Structure 1
Amino acid sequence: MIIRSLLDTDLYKFTMMQVVLHQYPAAQVEYRFRCRTPGIDLVPLVGRLRDEIDALCTLRFTDSELDYLRGLRFIDSDFVDFLGLFQLNAKYVTVRPSDTAQGEIDLVISGPWLHTILFEVPLLAIINELYFASAHPTIDLGEGRARLHDKIARLRDTPGYERVRVADYGTRRRFSRDWHEEALGIMQAGWGSQLAGTSNVWFAMRQGLVPIGSMAHEYLQAFQSLGPRLRDSQTAALEAWAREYRGDLGIALSDVYGMDAFLRDFDMYFCKLFDGARHDSGDPFDWGDRMLAHYEANRVDPRTKTLVFSDGLTIPRVMELYKHFEGRCHLSFGVGTNLTNDMGPMPLNIVIKMTRCNGQPVAKLSDSPGKSMCDDPDYIAYLRRVFDLPAAA
């Protein structure tokens, strides 16, 4: 059994789930899986994946886990009471070999948002672990340890970078659960206070780390169906977040419709209300410079705001970004695959994305080619027109 706790997921799944419970408990959604790495045959894993899904659906939150969640300042007591009754249900997940693409699998999650939102991260972690256990059964963990120690030493021992703080964002693409836990222990020992925390709630609880996260793309995508009108969906999502958290968890995700559309919606009110913004596609230097200029144009001191970088980061990239933005704002760095799956073999680039909400297509219009995912090209074209964005190249 790969997943042993329902807390073995990213914090933002719980923060979004609380909004769903309180404001949109009847929403119906669909998610789909995609492997972006070419030439990967996942079909032999289908049987074992189904077994792991069945095992995942036997899990319940323990009393100690519920007590831990109840102790987080932004988690409401009624939400924890709901989680005390919660259990994932395998009837919402279908997985089978693809009929159209050899070696690929069709994995679809469909059902109430409230009851399906916690599937994504553990399913991705399961697929990763099954794949690497099958494709690289005799891998030497010593290589991964050596690479991780080199990263730690580079950041820790280079003068001028003592104040850089890095968070682990690597649950969904980790090599394995056991390696993830060991890697976090190595990071704690090597980085000390330079390890800001982890997105993984289970390991945060077990290892005394700070759990980190706010919102993900699915949250803003859903508002394409939930919002008052499509053009106002991004604003509606941010307003709903503010109603729920009243200024807490104030990092806004900026790339669901691209940076131009985000800046049009992120007006002076949101600039002052939210603590900062997170980058997850496109050029991070350009994004950060534009974000800081936007704060200044809205009479907000950028030095009081936080820029969070989380798009495919490596430690050298973290250091480049820190050098560029240091002193101009607060900085946060979320590093995922490079910390939890740099073992020698090429990591998988796999995702599970929301594709429909309440029977309507939803999509992300990414600033990075290949990151968008939608099963309706006509809807993508319509979305671009509504947000006054150029047609995809």
Structure 2
Amino acid sequence: MDIATRVWNHKWKIDPIVRSLIDDDFYKLLMCQSVFRNHRDTDVTFSLINRTKSVRLAELIDEGELREQLDHIRSLSLSRGESTWLRGNMFYGKRQMFTSEFMQWFENLRLPDYHLEKRDGQYELTFEGKWPEVMLWEIPALAVLMELRSRAVLDSMGKFELQVLYARAMTRVWEKVERLRAVDGLRIADFGTRRRHSFLWQDWCVQAMQEGLGEKFVGTSNCKIAMKRDIEAIGTNAHELPMVYSALAENDDALRQAPYQVLEDWHEEHEGNLRIILPDTYGTQGFLNHAPDWLAGWTGIRIDSGDPATGAEIAIKWWKERGEDPRKKLVIFSDGLDVDKIIQLHKQFHGRVRVSFGWGTLLTNDFRGLVPEEGLNPFSIVCKAVQVNGRPTVKLSDNPRKAMGPTEEIDRYKRVFELGEQADEEVIV
């Protein structure tokens, strides 16, 4: 496939940014089924948050083109082949991961409407409705904004200039793959859907990882690409669950227990490598200090904020204190990764735990320095649940720069979860 020619000739009706309801991360579908089972009538608002204020999206991206892409997503429904794949494929060793009730609902789903405004050079994009429906806007919305920004930058480039650009980007990816190929015992997956350069580019990167890394490449978070390339769909759960459960809590005691209630519900549905703790929503150390004993028996932990080595050391210490052998536990690193950090963390923890990596933006969107003025540098954009039944959500994280929510609620959550001093870490996308 000649990506440069496709980009040069692109018309959105031929190459839509999001081309399927399963052009989404696998963890969203797993969480959606859990939400459908436990909280399907909860009203939630999701909102786009651009942390990189210097990237003024509303000045780069045409509003009409953005609306066309969003409206296209609203027209999508599961194809027969996609439904058959979800119903019959084996995920994490389980043949029927998705229940018939959930699949019947999903097969009839059309995503709800959106609200779009411009303010101070940015787009305000929000989605309101029942939790299982609006949560499926998150990844497609991010993919659309990221790719439209890329298209705006590339729009003035000629065919040969684009060919050189993509040749350089392909060389960069392949050089990374060659370095990782030399790492004994490596396990790595593509986690790059939400901030990818484009669907075509993500698909190319996955194929490069398949060919270059062989069995060291364990799969992709993107369901459409996993189905297309016949590889594993990878993913577990995310901060969204404890954020919404916490906002539903009626008092401080219920708030303190909310993150553990999330995992109780998850425990009922999943086993094995899907039992992965994501402990950092309100601070990893505090979460583990008060965690029930049964959680120590789960398969592993995902480290997604703060200093990753510190997070892994905290997990190892916690497992030892609970009588568990860390060498049998899985630690998944997934925050701000590139080759140097992957190699460093693997060297530090391989043999002490089972190490795995979820590689995101700097796999599927590393065009740094390939166009003038940082025009294609990745930037930090998220789409988060911000309100639940009229109440605000809060995320604290192990990195205070990632905290979100009203100031008074952040202070309350810090008190309830006994969050002490935190070290600022650069937010690396």
1:377 matched to 2:407? The reply is yes
The code of the aligned residue for 1:33 comes to L
1:21 alignment partner in structure 2 = 36
What amino acid is aligned across from residue 24 of structure 2 in structure 1?
Answer: T
- 2:237 is aligned with 1:215: yes
Aligned ranges 1:1-393 → 2 under 5 Å: 1-44=16-59, 45=61, 46-70=63-87, 71=89, 72=91, 73=94, 74-90=97-113, 93-98=114-119, 102-137=120-155, 138=157, 139=162, 140-156=165-181, 158=182, 161-227=183-249, 229-246=254-271, 249-272=274-297, 274-344=298-368, 345-374=376-405, 376-390=406-420
Moved over 3 A (4+): 390-393
1 CA distance for matches of 2:248 and 2:54? 37
Counterparts of 2:127 and 2:293, CA distance in 1: 38
* TM-score computed with the length of structure 2 as normaliser: 0.86
**Is contact 1:170–1:335 with CA below 8 Å preserved after alignment?**
yes
* Contact map agreement 2:18 2:140 (CA 8 A) in 1: yes
333 and 247 in structure 1: CA distance in 2 versus 1, 3 angstrom threshold: closer
| One-letter amino acid of the structure 2 residue matched with residue 195 of structure 1 | F
Unaligned stretches of 5+ in structure 2?
Answer: 1-15, 369-375, 425-429
> Residue 86 of structure 1: CA displacement?
1.1
- 1:234–1:265: 8 Å Cα contact kept in structure 2? no
Conservation of the 8 A alpha-carbon contact between 1:10 and 1:200 = yes
Q: Is the contact between residue 353 and residue 373 of structure 1 (CA under 8 Å) also seen in structure 2?
A: no
**1:279 deviation in Å?**
0.5
The 3 A distance-change label for structure 1 pair 348 and 136 is farther
SS at match of 2:295: helix
Query: 2-side partners of 1:235 and 1:319: how far apart?
Result: 33
- TM-superposition CA deviations, 1:95-141 (whole Å, max 9, x none): 1111xxx2112111211101111100011001011001102333411
Deviation at 1:266, TM superposition (A): 2.7
Tell me the distance in 1 between the aligned counterparts of 2:413 and 2:77: 39
AA at the equivalent of 1:266: A
- TM-score between the two structures when normalised by the length of structure 1: 0.94
Greater displacement, 353-362 / 146-155: 353-362
Give SS of 1:307's match.
strand
- Quote the offset at 1:187 in angstroms: 1.3
Inter-partner Cα distance in structure 2 for 1:378 and 1:104:
25
Cα deviation for residue 349 of structure 1 reads 1.3
Question: Deviation at 1:227?
Answer: 4.7
Offset at residue 246 of structure 1 (A): 4.8
Query: 1:247 Cα shift?
Result: 5.2
Give the distance between the partners of 1:165 and 1:335, measured in 2 at CA: 11
Structure 1 unaligned blocks of 5 or more: none
Deviations 1:144-192 (A, max 9, x none): 1010010000111x3xx22101100000111111111111111111111
- Tell me the amino acid that sits aligned with residue 115 of structure 1: E
Q: Alpha-carbon deviations, 1:242-272, whole Å to 9, x = none?
A: 1222556111111100112221233321011
Helix, strand or coil for the counterpart of 1:107?
strand
AA matched with 2:238: A
Distance in 1, Cα, partners of 2:264 & 2:316: 22
- CA distance in 1 between counterparts of 2:407 and 2:46 reads 17
Note the alpha carbon deviations across 1:41-68, whole angstroms, 9 max, x for none. Answer: 2114232111111100000001110111
| Matched residue SS, 1:370 | helix
Amino acid at match of 1:39: S
Q: Aligned partner of 2:303: which letter? A: H
Deviates most, 135-144 or 339-348: 135-144
Find the aligned partners of 2:345 and 2:54 in 1 and give their Cα distance.
Answer: 33
Structure 1 SS opposite 2:355: strand
Give the CA RMSD over aligned residues.
1.5
CA distance in 1, matches of 2:132, 2:125: 19
Q: Which range moved further: 239-248 or 380-389?
A: 239-248
CA distance in 2, matches of 1:213, 1:379: 30
1:170 and 1:339 in contact (8 A); partners too: yes
Aligned partner of 1:214: which letter? T
**Worse-matched range after superposition: 42-51 or 172-181:** 42-51
CA distance in 1, matches of 2:191, 2:341: 15
Letter in 2 for 1:50: R
